[in-house]
A and B are shown apart, each in its own frame.
Chain A
């Protein structure tokens, strides 16, 4: 059993933002991550038509909160500024695209 499948192990998460482009989206997300000691490893973004699609990979190793709490904070921010923000465990992507 890979260690990343167990609940205790804090690990890398993938934060995605989808929605109309606005000022301050990245700043808001980065603020939440930094407040919770989540280290940003990589950011990439693209504009699809008028929509912003941002993907951010972050490390939760040093973080004191769990993924579900982080997810809630990000969801709340998303609702405030009118975009969809989600955080998912990296395994959800790597399992599908990598063997």
Chain B
């Protein structure tokens, strides 16, 4: 029998400490939706998504009520559209994005991921067309998210694709100028992208995945932060142990919700992604956890070590709680979505260089960062190249989601509202990286026998 303390602990986590299931994401294969006629392909995409995901939202809402735990988002990820569109006779892939958007609206999900291409070693015709369609696709749809994988540890870094993404990001910002470059908040450039990530904007349904699957992303920075502040005076062993136990409990909820959703929808259960995903709400911040560990502000010396400890303890606890942990699984550090991060930037404690260092020890990368609107495509590409290099050399996922905020300068803010939050515009280096980026070609894959 459960004890009163255990029951109250669970209730407290949900009511006071903002524990939630961040997302139930249904992965759907669209590999059978190819058609030489782009309109027919679009129709097949719409039909398949609306048929399979029809009950996703009501099932999610039922589970949330029965277990008494909020499920914040219900979302869909699909096969990278570059694969589905490859055989269609068209230069313009926006038609597929619009089909995804309509389907997402019909079934009631707020984001759908998979307007994606994997180009870490080179680009096919379909990949090129997809990437060139990204700015318009993101400007002309509400719910579609795009991602491009430009590097892997096995293949190296496709610098042609990196440079192209620099240009695509600028163009996307320009096309969504009147909304502070919102399109860029739905565009992720990856290295070593996972195929089963349930979190937006980088979710897609990988080619090794089944026909359809349920993946779950848990959250709960607030719960971890409270637990950490309860062991203020203790040593690092106790601190790590506390985080580990908390992560275990959070992940168990994810496992329960994921298995229930999969069972009710008649689908296989894929993975729990044990990432700590912050929201702009006060008390739901990863920066706050780091500060509860004893740092005056997130970004000061010691931040990377604190984040490394946090990330590892979360993984250890999570891995014990679920047999199928996957996706990104770590701590997210999106600046605009984390009240503590925003404060740290505004007070001058946190800059791009420190954020880059932090991405070496956590998932996922430079996330939701606003930079001045006049930042060049070459500089954006160089920022992506740096992140990709960290991922490739350290055999981990890294990503860049950066917004060159049109018409804005350092010190100003961009406002997106909702889960995307608001971001202070951050300083980039004023020295050029253009000649480096313009070389073109591919940075070779690293040697891993001489590991230092």
Contacts and interface: CB of A to CB of B under 8 A. Distances in A.
A92 interface: yes
Contacts of B1: 42, 57
B65 A68 contact: yes
B65 A71 contact: yes
B4 A92 contact: no
Interface string B10-22: 1100000000000
Contact of A91 (B9, B65, B67, B249): B67
B256 interface: yes
A92 B263 contact: no
Interface residues on A, range: 20 to 34
Interface string B47-70: 000000000000000100111110
B67 A18 contact: no
B325 interface: no
A7 B10 contact: no
Contacts of B68: 86-89, 92
Contacts of A27: none
Interface in B1-33: 1-2, 4, 6-11
A6 B69 contact: no
A16 B256 contact: no
B2 A93 contact: yes
Contacts of B11: 16, 18, 86
B263 A6 contact: yes
Interface in B58-117: 62, 65-69
Interface string A71-99: 10000000000000011111111111110
A92 B2 contact: no
A95 B279 CA distance: 25
Contact of B4 (A44, A88, A98): A44
Given A5-B259, A6-B263, A53-B8, A92 B69 contact: yes
Given A91-B67, A92-B69, A97 B10 contact: yes
B421 to A, nearest CB: 29
A96 B253 CA distance: 6
B427 interface: no
A16 to B, nearest CB: 6
Given A88-B67, A92-B68, A14 B263 contact: no
Nearest to A4: B260
B408 interface: no
Contacts of B2: 14, 57, 90, 93-94, 97-98
A55 B253 contact: no
Given A5-B260, A42-B1, A92-B253, A55 B66 contact: no
Contacts of A92: 10, 66-69, 253, 256
Contacts of A25: none
Nearest to B321: A99
A97 B1 CA distance: 11
A53 B8 CA distance: 8
A23 interface: no
Given A5-B260, A14-B7, A92-B256, A97 B249 contact: yes
Nearest to A89: B66
Contacts of A71: 65-66
A68 B67 CA distance: 10
A93 B65 contact: no
Given A16-B11, A18-B11, A88-B67, A93 B259 contact: no
Contact of A97 (B6, B65, B66, B263): B6
B338 interface: no
Contact of B7 (A55, A87, A89): A55
B252 interface: yes
A46 interface: yes
B264 interface: yes
Nearest to B13: A96
B10 A93 contact: yes
A5 B62 CA distance: 13
Contacts of A14: 2, 7
A46 B7 CA distance: 13
A93 B264 CA distance: 20
B255 interface: yes
Q: Which of B68, B69, B256 has the most CB of A within 10 A?
A: B68
A68 B62 CA distance: 8
B50 to A, nearest CB: 22
Interface string B275-317: 0000000000000000000000000000000000000000000
11 contacts: A1-B259, A6-B264, A7-B62, A7-B264, A16-B7, A53-B8, A88-B67, A93-B7, A93-B10, A96-B6, A97-B249
Q: Which 7 A-B pairs have the closest CB atoms?
A: A88-B68, A92-B67, A95-B256, A97-B6, A96-B252, A89-B66, A96-B249
Given A92-B66, A96-B249, 19 more contacts: A1-B263, A5-B256, A16-B11, A44-B4, A46-B4, A53-B8, A55-B4, A55-B7, A67-B65, A68-B62, A71-B65, A88-B66, A88-B68, A89-B67, A91-B260, A95-B252, A95-B255, A96-B6, A96-B256
